[in-house]
A = this chain, B = another copy of it.
């Protein structure tokens, strides 16, 4: 907050809000936003609200919904933004922001249509904001959705210098009769896991507590991480976006409820998220040896002396997304995912139970 130095009249600019920086930013981000546009985006960049045509009858892109259900999700990047701010690396957390939202939405069987971001900053630095929005646009391209709008709020009294927060919202659509609810999974169904890229965007308060506690250096590379990449970059690895791959699976295996349930593995890990995809009279019995836990988790666990159970309760431990599928189709779905570059694998099966994940 700028004090009124002359004792004369106060202006909005003196109160810490720079309208010209806002105009500069809008000019910088427009081409990033337009990269995400499809013919379904209507109206002008900069109107009061973004407009998106649900049905679209062009030959190459026919979409007509009989009984469309809109599916919507909101989430933020969480305190991963603090590491980005500390390292001044601004072009990666935008992908996290998109991922956290679209990966939730696809769990219901929906395909993402569009995304909007909310960016809040101490002071609007157009070049920084451009990098942040570039990351969001990159994420939208990966997810196949349009960046339909966004808000940048400059709040010098709420955020400390250099700090920012980034959250987002997404909307997708699915046919009513193809909606995936939590009641389909059966005993004998198979759990398929898709690898995460690392920590993704949950548990960063604990990550940062461990970094501080153990005196770790974000600029240094550690042999335990089995790469030359500095720790900070490892921690900023963007969350994987599973949208196109999962939409492809859902479209290909859409009859007979072959895909019985899906879960995005976020805060509270496999034990907290996988049960959201099945009824409370089942358990998911997972074989811990069926996948490799990436080195970053062991590294954090040992430096923080964190218990095994706590690690699984907070982090994804290497599995970013899970599908519960009919056993006869499990191999075919794994193969379909592998053809799209996902190292998917069978990690467990559904048994009688009490709505829990059992790690064996």
What is A's interface to B at a CB cutoff of 8 Å?
A: 1-4, 8-12, 14-17, 19, 42-44, 46-55, 65, 67-76, 78-79, 81-82, 104-105, 107-108, 110, 113-114, 116-118, 120, 148-151, 153-159, 163, 165, 167, 169, 171-172, 176, 179, 181-182, 203, 205-206, 208-210, 212-213, 263-264, 268, 276, 304-307, 310, 313-314
Contact = CB atoms under 8 A, between A and B. Distances in A.
B48 A108 contact: yes
A313 B9 CA distance: 14
Given A15-B205, A70-B70, A151 B171 contact: no
A79 B310 contact: no
Contact of A118 (B71, B105, B118): B118
A46 B268 CA distance: 14
Contacts of A307: 9, 11
A55 B173 CA distance: 12
Given A48-B105, A73-B50, A171-B72, A310 B9 contact: yes
Copy number in the complex reads: 2
Contact of A157 (B54, B82, B110, B305): B82
Contacts of A159: 158
A81 B171 CA distance: 27
Given A157-B208, A203-B12, A73 B48 contact: yes
Contact of A148 (B72, B81, B155): B72
A153 to B, nearest CB: 5
Given A48-B276, A79-B155, A107-B49, A165 B72 contact: no
